[in-house]
Amino acid sequence: MTGKMRLFAVLSLLSAAFLFAAALAAPAEEQPPEKPAPAENPPPPDAQAGPWVNDLSKAKALAAEQKKDIFLDFTGSDWCGWCQKLEAEVFSTKAFLEEAAKSFVLCSLDFPKQKPNPAAEANKKVLQDYKVAGFPTILLMDAEGKVYARTGYKEGGPDAYLPHIKALMSQKARLAEMEKACSDPADKAAQALKTEELVQTLLDWEILQMHVSHLDRFYGLDPENASGMKVRAIAYKMLLAIAIQSRDRNAFDAMKKEITDLVLKAVDAAQTPEAKTQEIDKALSWLQSRKAGKESIVGAFKELMEKALELDPENKSGLKLKFAADLLFAAMNAGDAAGVERQKKTIRELDAGNEAGQLERLILLEGNELYRQKKFAEASKSIEDFIAQAKALKDETTLRWAAGICWMKGNDNEKAKVHFLKVIEIDPKSDLASRCKDILKQIEEAEKKKAGGG
């Protein structure tokens, strides 16, 4: 995430820990921080030598002629530090240019802020057509412009980037295979399942916005919501709105209402309180399990969660704890102080040992509130105390990351490094570990500069 919270990020408590990352380390595929750390003297993309072209129409023509795919780079050459790092570390290297050009026509579209850009309008249209929201964004597509993969900055130079791109190339055949599997009109049930699998895969690949026709078809397969598919199709549209950082709040709220009405209709049709509760649990459990990146939409459905608790006042179903953290976040978002305290009490009573992972979510959220108040040491210590005392940890890397960010913001880099190194030790191949490595490099460079009197 960037330092600014996305419009719909408030809907997911799971994203709370990542709000600690303000102005420190953005994922490569997102908008970079306001003051990124660019690599030294990187050449701008429009000055790239070799096989790069700067016009998508020309790239399509060349790709068709040469029977290649297109490697499309959306970059901000004079302001985006992550773009500059990617250019300096990978795109300007002989190893990358020679190998990538074997399979792709390389195309770079620049969006500078300082220098004039004669292609500004044409580039903007391509940006809008592909619904690109951050820089750098890399799209892999066929000669006709059909996207099958998306990526951004990855550390490690061409030795790491080329295998990464090769792995993404396999998605082209996988996409074609999945599209074929869901096109059989003879078996409607199988078609629906395959279409949903395709939609989820495209969301996971972060390219659903470029294949909305599949989502539209899925939406139309169950118009009466007889099997619950219409609810899921609308939910995918909500997840897509998060993924592309849509700012249409009215449309988002309308989709939320449509889902709520459909679920409540199914609840009304159920015959017993247990069956009614199960209908809500089924819908909300599915919503909890689907995310755009780290973000879920289940927190938007406060009305459904409260209805489930109303139907099961003795908590026989265990839903009181299951939805407590999401209700807590909804209460905070609504400024409901009494609701906040009620849900905090529920979590601390029903998940005292963090066996369900809800106490962990509460600790992260409370730490984030302290972070917002600039109480960095207090936030760090609260998370560290929890790590030391909890009977079970569900996501230690996120807890360590949050503690490290707080110590760093509190100007205690030595304590911050302990947590960042622990993240790398626990899950060295994760995106969070990569971000920790990047921050450790920044700390090391700053310390060297300070030692040298620079």
Q: Does residue 229 contact residue 218 with C-beta atoms inside 8 Å?
A: yes
CA distance 166 to 99: 10
pLDDT of residue 294: 66
pLDDT of residue 67: 97
Q: Does residue 145 contact residue 107 with C-beta atoms inside 8 Å?
A: no
Q: Residue 28: pLDDT band by 50, 70, 90 thresholds?
A: very low
Q: What ranges in 28-109 are assigned the alpha helix state H? A: 56-66, 81-86, 94-100
**How many Å from the N-terminal Cα to the C-terminal Cα in the chain?**
31
CA distance 193 to 211: 17
Q: CA dihedral in degrees (436, 438, 443, 447; nearest 10)?
A: 140
pLDDT exceeds cutoff 90 at 107: yes
Domains of the chain with CATH codes: 36-173 (3.40.30.10)
Q: Residue 449: pLDDT band by 50, 70, 90 thresholds?
A: confident
Range with the poorest average pLDDT among 116-120, 323-327, 329-333, 372-376: 329-333
Q: Percentage of the chain surpassing pLDDT 70?
A: 88
**pLDDT tens for each residue of 255-266:** 999 999 999 999
Which of 436-444's residues contact partners 24+ apart within 8 Å by CB, and which partners?
A: 436/401, 436/404, 437/155, 438/25, 438/155, 439/24, 439/25, 439/404, 439/408, 442/37, 443/408, 443/413, 443/416, 443/417
Task: Give the pTM.
Answer: 0.77
**pLDDT tens for each residue of 331-382:** 888 889 999 999 999 999 999 999 999 999 999 999 998 999 999 999 999 9
CA distance 141 to 267: 44
Q: Does residue 435 contact residue 409 with C-beta atoms inside 8 Å?
A: no
pLDDT of residue 333: 81
Number of helical (H) and strand (E) elements in the chain, helices listed first: 19, 6
pLDDT exceeds cutoff 60 at 324: yes
Q: Does residue 308 contact residue 281 with C-beta atoms inside 8 Å?
A: yes
pLDDT exceeds cutoff 70 at 24: no
In this structure, the number of other CB atoms found within 10 A of the CB of residue 442 comes to 15
pLDDT exceeds cutoff 60 at 244: yes
pLDDT of residue 345: 95
Q: Does residue 291 contact residue 14 with C-beta atoms inside 8 Å?
A: yes
pLDDT exceeds cutoff 60 at 23: no
Mean pLDDT, all residues of the chain: 86
**pLDDT tens for each residue of 416-433:** 999 999 999 999 988 889
pLDDT of residue 32: 36
Single-letter amino acid, residue 192: A
